[in-house]
Amino acid sequence: MPALGLGTWKAAPGEVGAAVHTALELGYRHIDCAAIYGNEAEIGAALATAQRDGLVRRDELWITSKLWNDCHAPEQVRPALEQTLSDLQLDHLDLYLIHWPVVHRHGVVMPNVAADQIPLEQLPLHETWSAMEALVDGGLVRQIGVSNCSAVKLNGLLPHGRIRPAMNQIERHPWLQQNDLLSFCQQQDIAVTAYSPLGSPAGGGPLPLLVDPVVTAIAAAHGASPAQVLLAWGLACGTAVIPKSVQRERLAANLAAAQLRLGQDELEQIAALDRHHRFVDGSFWELPGGAYTRANLWDEPG
């Protein structure tokens, strides 16, 4: 899997297809998708056009997608994947992830009341995982993994599986380094993809990491952008990074970050920025009387 890919979360309909096509022209070969983003059909059209025009072959691409929370029941996993494959106009995925360790009633995209949620004790991840393994057996996906999973949840899942998770996709950037989780995944031979590697404020707007004085000083020293420094740091940590952009200039600059090499002292300066700050904190899963809290989602003190 190419370590630097294109994220498509928050990529608006009407923009994302063009962004994917431009990214492929620039040399991106790793595209990160998810059913919940609501844009897979447009991405699929762009992928089909690029292949038809000879811009890229399917075997050169790495396409990831994710199973949404209302399709965790084993009998719902394959139909969810088949819809994603239809939307993306593909016959298989390279990687399919369980998007969250959170379960909704089938058909409930976003829960509004506690009754919309199903506790993990009632439908544990390992039951969903068994159906994910069947997708590999059926040749519909090459590898499977998880997203937003703590070491506690991974430890609970690992003894039950025939196939080990290939990936854990987590929020990771200098303000949320999650080094204990990263070390655990590395010890278990589980790769890590960092989403929101530039930060992602809930309300949109400016990204504070791009104006962090440590980051901007390092960028100036290299004649690089702050975004390039953040991405180069993520790559230096051994993670994949999937920044999102729909603008050609930024797409090109982000891809060029793979060539930026930071010094050990610079890596140490960035390491000192950790403040365990989540931009995607999971508070949207907290409902009165519901099954999920930020404490039990991340397995951290409340």
- In contact, 28 and 6? CB cutoff 8 Å: yes
- In contact, 103 and 72? CB cutoff 8 Å: yes
pLDDT at 11: 75
What are the structure tokens assigned to 273, written together?
A: 């920025």
pLDDT at 204: 67
Residues facing 96 on adjacent strands: 65, 144
Answer yes or no: pTM beyond 0.95: yes
Residue 199 half-sphere exposure, CB side, CA atoms within 13 Å?
22
182 burial (CB, 10 Å; 0-12 / 13-18 / 19+) is buried
Residues annotated catalytic, as ranges: 37
DSSP conformation letters of 198-261? T---TT-S--GGGG-HHHHHHHHHHT--HHHHHHHHHHHTT-EE------HHHHHHHHHGGG--
C-alpha separations of 33 from 19, 30, 74 in Å: 13, 10, 21
78 burial (CB, 10 Å; 0-12 / 13-18 / 19+) is middle
Cα 116 from Cα 175, distance rounded (Å):
32
What are the structure tokens assigned to 88, written together?
A: 């993306």
pLDDT at 56: 97
Q: Over its length of 302 residues, how does the chain's per-residue pLDDT go in tens digits?
A: 999 999 999 877 789 999 999 999 999 999 999 999 999 999 999 999 999 999 999 999 999 999 999 999 999 999 999 999 999 999 999 999 999 999 999 999 999 999 999 999 999 999 999 999 999 999 999 999 999 999 999 999 999 999 999 999 999 999 999 999 999 999 999 999 999 999 987 666 778 999 999 999 999 999 999 999 999 999 999 999 999 999 999 999 999 999 999 999 999 999 999 999 999 999 999 999 999 999 999 999 76
pLDDT at 203: 67
Domains of the chain plus CATH, in order, are: 6-205+238-246+276-297 (3.20.20.100)
